[in-house]
Structure 1
Amino acid sequence: MALVLAVLALLLWLGGSTLPYDWQWARAFGFVLRWQDGTPVPGPLLIGLGQTLRIAALAGVIALVIALITAILRLSNSISGRWLARAYVEVIRNTPLIVQISMFYFAIAPLLGIERFWAGVLALALFEAAFLSEIIRAGILGVALTQWEAAASLGLTRPQTYRLIVLPQALRAMLPPLTSSAVALVMDSSIVSVIALAELTTAGRNAIADNFLSFEIWFLVAGLYLTITLTLSAFARRLERRYVSTSGPARGARIRTIS
């Protein structure tokens, strides 16, 4: 990773040196961190990064709830529930996120009285939930049939079976891909800039419009995104190394398939 980043930095430096462009990094770094009376003050880009993390965190929590409900509906005995959940997943997964955000903000949010911030969060959550639901469904299907039979023999209800038996075991298999999805969620949050939500990408655009430091600002924006995503990716790899060897069912165990 260090070698790749070093080669990329070298290529960018060589490419930048050939451009007739006056680089002004001293001015650009002021949009990340400023000093006022000897005290560091976060600049517009850091404030935008905080808003990005807030959007991603809220959207992630809402997406997990929606994804869990969708996954359980797809595994239920209800025909209407299965088809409703499947239709939601297929429609969301096969349309661009930028189109969904625009439609939600301009068509649905005004009818429901949803403000700009929550319109972006909910649109992002609905998009991510469609992908998370498949991860959760796969994790549930990976629990051995004997676990369901044991729960039934104890007289547990279906909600109790999910809560006490199935989901704790499925979570071991779901954690690595769920954490990787958090990386995608942070990157996808940049698209809410189309509705002028004040996150990192929007802050970068505003800084460029005010000071015309296009290259410097975009490099700083990319660096901030890279810092967050590399941190989350490292955490995801650590979880994968820890859980992947024990996440699958025991050898010879039967897998419960629910149509």
Structure 2
Amino acid sequence: MSSPPRKTRREIPFWLLAIGLLGVLFLWLITTDGNYATIFAAVRQGVFVTLWVTFVAFALATALGLLIALARTSRHRVLREVATFYVEIVRGIPMLVLLFYMAFVGAPQLVAFWNWALATPIEHGLLPALSVRDFSMTARAIAALTIGYSAFIAEIFRAGIEAVPKGQTEAAAALGLTRMQVFRLIILPQATRTVLPPLGNDLVSMIKDSALVSVLGVQDLTQLGKVYSSSTFLFFETYNVVAFLYLVMTIGLSLLVRGLERHMAKSDAR
């Protein structure tokens, strides 16, 4: 009688071990080397700005992307065509161009439209007149990231919605559920399980793309590193610290996403 197979112990991947050793090295440099310690103190505030911009923009992009995905899967042709037009146009524009467009074209035009459309209430003091300075560069950067990523997230949600078998929605409708109830009780829970891993990957990508907001002068990690290195000429040390902090954020989130995928795979196997 053959003995049952032994449970193999999970091995630590070499790449993760190498990254861990690299992290230990950088922590040692930050705590022992005066230059690295000073650089870390100078740029660490940028980490909070980077995370703030990323998470706010991602939350808004997820909400907008879900609405666009619902329009893309709508029965009404006009909604489908408009949503498809939005997705194709936005996905074809580089993020850097979109940042410049929102900062120097979108915000001024929005202010001009506000002051023109609501001229009468503004004249009577019921509403304030806006100026371009009322929109900070951080807000413009968040708006650009929201618009840029909402098109990609819309496609993720659309794929998740269309992955739900139509027989389930037809059976729910036959039981008398309204379209909103079918979406909330049948489609959304199943689609969420499908879209969570790619949404996590988009969040990691947004952290990296958030470095582009430094071109607008937003005091994120990249901008603070650029300012410090240009004033001290410690380019090698400064960008080592900046790269290390980005790696901590992105690899930490990537490991979290992989853990979520494994947990969902185990739940589906039960």
Question: In percent, how many aligned pairs have the same letter?
Answer: 37
Quick one: structure 1 residues 95 and 29, their matched pair in 2 at CA, closer, same or farther if it must change by over 3 Å?
Answer: same
Q: State the SS of the aligned residue for 1:175.
A: helix
Residues 172 and 247 in structure 1, CA contact (< 8 A), matched pair in contact too? no
Report the counterpart of residue 29 of structure 1 in structure 2.
Answer: 37
Q: In the alignment, which of 170, 188, 192 is matched to residue 149 of structure 1?
A: 170
Quick one: structure 1 residues 238 and 198, their matched pair in 2 at CA, closer, same or farther if it must change by over 3 Å?
Answer: same
Asked if 1:200 corresponds to 2:207, the answer is no
Structure 1 residue 151, shift from structure 2 partner:
2.0
Which residue identity lines up with residue 217 of structure 1 in the other structure? Answer: T
Report the counterpart of residue 21 of structure 1 in structure 2.
Answer: none
Quick one: structure 1 residues 2 and 245, their matched pair in 2 at CA, closer, same or farther if it must change by over 3 Å?
Answer: closer
Quick one: structure 1 residues 192 and 154, their matched pair in 2 at CA, closer, same or farther if it must change by over 3 Å?
Answer: same
Paired residue total:
224
Tell me how far apart the structure 2 counterparts of residues 105 and 29 of structure 1 sit (CA, whole Å): 34
Report the counterpart of residue 12 of structure 2 in structure 1.
Answer: none
Q: Between Structure 1 and Structure 2, which shows a larger proportion of helix residues?
A: 2
Q: What runs of 5+ residues in structure 2 fail to find an aligned partner? A: 1-14, 24-31, 112-134
Report the counterpart of residue 39 of structure 1 in structure 2.
Answer: none
Report the counterpart of residue 201 of structure 2 in structure 1.
Answer: 180
Which entry has the higher C-alpha Rg, 1 or 2?
A: 2
Quick one: structure 1 residues 56 and 76, their matched pair in 2 at CA, closer, same or farther if it must change by over 3 Å?
Answer: same
Report the counterpart of residue 241 of structure 2 in structure 1.
Answer: 220
Which residue identity lines up with residue 50 of structure 1 in the other structure? Answer: F
Structure 2 length as normaliser, TM-score? 0.77
Tell me how far apart the structure 1 counterparts of residues 215 and 63 of structure 2 sit (CA, whole Å): 25
Structure 1 length as normaliser, TM-score? 0.81
Residue pairs, 1:97-116, within 5 angstroms: 97-113=95-111, 114-116=135-137
Residues 39 and 241 in structure 2, CA contact (< 8 A), matched pair in contact too? no
Structure 1 residue 83, shift from structure 2 partner:
1.2
Structure 1 residue 156, shift from structure 2 partner:
2.1
Residues 116 and 197 in structure 1, CA contact (< 8 A), matched pair in contact too? yes
Tell me how far apart the structure 1 counterparts of residues 42 and 79 of structure 2 sit (CA, whole Å): 45
Structure 1 residue 172, shift from structure 2 partner:
0.8
Q: In the alignment, which of 91, 94, 103 is matched to residue 93 of structure 1?
A: 91
Report the counterpart of residue 189 of structure 2 in structure 1.
Answer: 168
- Root-mean-square deviation (CA), in Å? 2.1
Residues 197 and 260 in structure 2, CA contact (< 8 A), matched pair in contact too? yes
Quick one: structure 1 residues 141 and 244, their matched pair in 2 at CA, closer, same or farther if it must change by over 3 Å?
Answer: farther
Residues 51 and 200 in structure 1, CA contact (< 8 A), matched pair in contact too? yes
